[in-house]
Structure 1
């Protein structure tokens, strides 16, 4: 193994031009860590927003910030890694070497199984836009026997982890009706597939050329975003919606809350439509409804996801692949939102 590796990193917030392909030292796994040779790394909106510094901070929504605060530059981006264990640090089982793995990119608040993430690989520590990346051994999941390809496995951590976290926190049950916004995106497709696997009735919001692909992913009904969404949902589910799984937010929250049945749950995990939200609070308390924030997943959720991956109960859609030296083009393609599924790079 060589001493150096190719990596794409950012030294400041900005547009795609701040992504720099460079040669850096291969990181050494510390005690309790493993070194993973990256075979595929998937892109996420998180990559764009971290690069742009678009997360804001408590009390200062306009502040330039990484996922959970200021970023220590330079930073190698990339949360979603599939690969093979190349080496292990002290105190780590050596039989892991050579195993095919997926890395849980979350940095958790504690070692508890239900801990919430307070940091993310690619933002709070170096990520997978590189030939190698280190990770704590307990965050590396052996998927050697999975029938999914490395590209498909790489799409799982953030999109499917976020989706499973939303579904678990929203307590979606078999037979319930679920409304999914932003349904053609990485998280949206994941939400449709997992909700279908749970036995829910899926209403998805999408538009234009993507509607067929969303239907193919498993949506029972597709609502066209370019027309009156509330009216269409009323028509498709006159008895109301049990759970909304929302990565769009914006006006949809205020317009959509009245669609919830008694005791309904509105789960928000993104703000593609805007973060400044207004709603009629009477629709919340009079109907015992809940608005639930959901950031990624817990270790328990991620273990559930890896079980789904080993059994191939989900089938991730790979929209396009790029080599590492085209990271800027890959991120620009992601930002255009013309694709369905996930974009993957090959270091």
Structure 2
């Protein structure tokens, strides 16, 4: 066990309830001690994902009770190791998927849940492809099982998940149609994406003009009424992967209901006698049934994503970087709809 004494101070961002971004609280305290099977990570970069935006509104379907420290993923250096953990991990840069707790200067993580970050990838760059990269890779290759020569539609192609998904798809030889506001179209064209403006006109008609026979897969984080259009745009044999409900972010009422409604719709579609399939994707699916399998897949798939970054197939897209204590400004930018890529927080 690494018994090095830690004299640093813990800084963390607390979400006290359903508050405006300015209602986030900064808390200081003692750095925790790694227990059996754990490592203590000094965070170098964490970020703002759609999950934190929903949690702030109390709309994330399985968020913990308030107050809590948000933060879905992080990258940092192992500062200390607990009992039954290889002491050689100390000093290594790792990534971790934690769901909550990442918006802190120091985080305790199960050693088995960490993934090494290759040399040559900076902390902020690595952070952009942890939850976003895992989500994109697994949707592409484990759910839709894309193949070279196919055509896919990516909603929010300029966003955190979307920008990684686009690049991984292109590395696999797949043609990409991407929805985004007009301000992002030139950047998408430079990446070889055929852009569609989701703010004006008929999205299905615009997509049909580019893919008259339909698309082989749709990746939809929007949900709501538009999910039916995504289903109808599929070519025979196509796959719809739904991984969010941004359209219902500000709705009142049960936070579980939009998910249940979506799951019911997907079940119905899959029960129909057709040659298309639909999935609701969540990166945590399967962990409750088999932690070893979940951890193995996470390590394997995130390693694939890091390899793609190393090869230059994926260029991490950082929208902006803020200090951890400026989390209110960071989440406001992420929620504005104007950011391209991921908003990063650095302690």
1:80: Cα distance to partner?
Answer: 2.0
1:292: Cα distance to partner?
Answer: 0.6
Residues 137 and 283 of structure 1, relative CA distance in 2, 3 Å threshold: closer
Match of 1:165 among 131, 135, 138: 138
Check whether the contact 2:115–2:302 (CA below 8 A) recurs between aligned residues: no
Check whether the contact 2:269–2:277 (CA below 8 A) recurs between aligned residues: no
CA distance in 2, matches of 1:72, 1:279: 29
Which residue number corresponds to residue 3 of structure 2? none
CA distance in 2, matches of 1:255, 1:78: 32
SS in 2 for 1:76: coil
Structure 1: gaps of 5 or more residues: 57-67, 106-119
TM-score (normalizing by structure 2): 0.84
Aligned pairs (5 A) from 1:52-201 = 52-56=57-61, 68-69=62-63, 71-105=64-98, 120=99, 122=100, 127-145=101-119, 147-167=120-140, 168-201=142-175
- Write 1 or 2 for the structure with the bigger share of helix: 2
Check whether the contact 2:133–2:305 (CA below 8 A) recurs between aligned residues: no
Check whether the contact 1:161–1:296 (CA below 8 A) recurs between aligned residues: yes
Which residue number corresponds to residue 219 of structure 2? 245
Check whether the contact 2:151–2:176 (CA below 8 A) recurs between aligned residues: yes
- Say whether 1:336 aligns with 2:329: no
Which residue number corresponds to residue 239 of structure 2? 265
Aligned pairs (5 A) from 1:212-227 = 212-219=186-193, 221-225=194-198, 226-227=200-201
Match of 2:300 among 286, 300, 303: 303
Check whether the contact 1:31–1:91 (CA below 8 A) recurs between aligned residues: yes
CA distance in 2, matches of 1:302, 1:185: 23
SS in 1 for 2:228: helix
Check whether the contact 1:34–1:134 (CA below 8 A) recurs between aligned residues: yes
Greater mean deviation of Cα atoms: 133-142 or 274-283: 274-283
Check whether the contact 2:115–2:299 (CA below 8 A) recurs between aligned residues: no
Check whether the contact 1:263–1:290 (CA below 8 A) recurs between aligned residues: yes
CA distance in 2, matches of 1:128, 1:236: 41
SS in 1 for 2:196: strand
Alpha-carbon RMSD across the aligned residues, in angstroms, is: 2.2
SS in 1 for 2:164: helix
Which residue number corresponds to residue 255 of structure 2? none
Which residue number corresponds to residue 56 of structure 2? 51
Check whether the contact 1:248–1:271 (CA below 8 A) recurs between aligned residues: yes
CA distance in 1, matches of 2:28, 2:133: 31
Runs of 4+ off more than 6 Å: 276-284
1:95: Cα distance to partner?
Answer: 0.6
1:264: Cα distance to partner?
Answer: 1.3
- Alignment length, in residue pairs? 314
Which residue number corresponds to residue 33 of structure 1? 38
Greater mean deviation of Cα atoms: 244-253 or 82-91: 244-253
Check whether the contact 1:261–1:287 (CA below 8 A) recurs between aligned residues: no
Residues 241 and 284 of structure 1, relative CA distance in 2, 3 Å threshold: farther
Check whether the contact 2:47–2:345 (CA below 8 A) recurs between aligned residues: yes
Which residue number corresponds to residue 327 of structure 2? 327
Residues 207 and 72 of structure 1, relative CA distance in 2, 3 Å threshold: closer
CA distance in 1, matches of 2:320, 2:220: 25
